[in-house]
Structure 1
């Protein structure tokens, strides 16, 4: 198997180049709209580096809880500002939404990004009381899955987590060692093992692994591997590929949002 091609999503999605541009434009419009009403708190720092910050979006009334969404991009691309509008569905259901950025490879290693997201979850949890739900896409799916390792979060924060949804996650990082992207990731065998959720124990938190039916076979395999290892929910979303599988976050009545926030 050509692993570089197997993990190449954009090359197999028609019009893939338009998605990031559209996401960024829609996210900017969303932030401006919520900023006018005072419901966008932007650039809240959880660490000392520029990218160690999150945006917090608030519903009209007192939040029912906090959803934290972590973006993907193979730990090498994107920023929280590209995804803001994906808070729409949760806000309509009365939930606050935090979206963190994090330092990217090759500046840091994946294990460092995992620790950054743990810090982001901790700081965001201090901003909004009540239950916490985690969702992440692709590399972000890996990162939210890592949050429920037994030693990742403090007991005070971990006990507030009600549901985790890794969307099209990377659950076993060992194959990535043999890809060209590892020039940036710098994964070795030990880090790949330690950072693979499917190979780790987890806290007894409800988990739903969500993946698009039209995704690359390796992503279907990665999702199945995590669901089997953790004996958790596993949803294969008909007609969705790697880039539009997250569209359910936009609609408060979508199957994805109902599952994420009511399970």
Structure 2
């Protein structure tokens, strides 16, 4: 009996399954801009970490001395958005005393995913040079992929920075990239089978003993729930702490809103 051909484009079509989602980018940009106005001197913008117009990060400072550095990496299928859409998501961690870095990174088709991984390493190192103490990473969707790559055995991070990482939180992350080879978006991503394997955290060994939370909304596309379960299942085979959370009622876009709330379970997983 012949197997059923899966529609992988449909599997990753988040906006098509959330009513009103076409209005979300403008809403995110407005919320972020309004939040930045209220920060005043606590906000540093467009700090450079490398060459190119996207090699910059913003830094949100807490009141008083920072407990450490929290980094939030945005999603957009490695093809869209930048740091300016997400500043408001720093509030939960900032209110708990953390300095929050929000990096942009080069996008496809101008950069490969391997180049994005290296760029993210450079961004985190630059932010860590400005803020002392422990480092905690969170990323959403494609950003979840990138932060998880930072604790793989082939991490681009220098050992002193890697050793400061206390915890990584992948929110709705993509951890096995091989299905993307079958999507129309791969015309932009330009993955080949070798790179899809090499850049898949679920197929990599961790650096040392991982401390990883994998978080996904229960109302997301089934593929994102599968990706979360797969990551947790694969890395549970290594010494370390791996936690899987499938949050009831949340879709791919609502799931990150809790980062604005200091006491939300998601924020506690990030910087608690």
Tell whether the structures are fold-level matches, with TM greater than 0.5.
Answer: yes
2:240 is aligned with 1:236: no
Could you say which residue in structure 1 is the equivalent of 2:37?
32
Q: CA deviation at 1:151?
A: 3.1
Could you say which residue in structure 2 is the equivalent of 1:157?
161
Q: CA deviation at 1:47?
A: 0.5
Q: 1:126 aligns with which of 125, 129, 135?
A: 129
Could you say which residue in structure 1 is the equivalent of 2:239?
none
Is contact 1:68–1:99 with CA below 8 Å preserved after alignment? yes
Q: 2:230 aligns with which of 222, 225, 248?
A: 225
Q: CA deviation at 1:155?
A: 1.1
Is contact 1:63–1:96 with CA below 8 Å preserved after alignment? yes
Could you say which residue in structure 2 is the equivalent of 1:187?
191
Q: Secondary structure at the match of 2:211?
A: coil
Could you say which residue in structure 1 is the equivalent of 2:172?
168
Is contact 1:55–1:100 with CA below 8 Å preserved after alignment? yes
Residue ranges of structure 2 left out of the alignment (5+ in a row): 1-5, 237-241
Could you say which residue in structure 1 is the equivalent of 2:77?
74
Q: CA deviation at 1:14?
A: 1.0
Is contact 1:161–1:205 with CA below 8 Å preserved after alignment? no
Within a 5 Å distance, the mapping from 1:88-107 to structure 2 comes to 88-107=91-110
d(CA) in 1 for partners of 2:251, 2:91: 20
Residue ranges of structure 1 left out of the alignment (5+ in a row): none
Q: Secondary structure at the match of 1:211?
A: strand
Q: CA deviation at 1:154?
A: 1.1
d(CA) in 1 for partners of 2:153, 2:134: 18
Structure 1 stretches of 4+ with a deviation exceeding 3 A read: none
Is contact 1:6–1:216 with CA below 8 Å preserved after alignment? yes
Could you say which residue in structure 2 is the equivalent of 1:207?
212
RMSD: 0.7
Could you say which residue in structure 2 is the equivalent of 1:136?
139
Is contact 2:177–2:199 with CA below 8 Å preserved after alignment? yes
Deviation string for 1:5-29 (max 9, x for gaps)? 1100000001111211110001011
Is contact 1:87–1:250 with CA below 8 Å preserved after alignment? yes
2:118 is aligned with 1:115: yes
Q: Secondary structure at the match of 2:100?
A: strand
Q: 2:65 aligns with which of 62, 67, 82?
A: 62
How many residue pairs get aligned? The number is 260
Deviation string for 1:155-186 (max 9, x for gaps)? 10011000000000100000000100000000
d(CA) in 2 for partners of 1:244, 1:126: 32
TM-score by length of 2: 0.94
Is contact 1:144–1:164 with CA below 8 Å preserved after alignment? yes
Is contact 1:9–1:216 with CA below 8 Å preserved after alignment? yes
Deviation string for 1:134-165 (max 9, x for gaps)? 00000000000000112321110011000000
d(CA) in 1 for partners of 2:29, 2:163: 34
Q: CA deviation at 1:207?
A: 0.4
Could you say which residue in structure 1 is the equivalent of 2:23?
18
Could you say which residue in structure 2 is the equivalent of 1:253?
263
TM-score by length of 1: 0.98
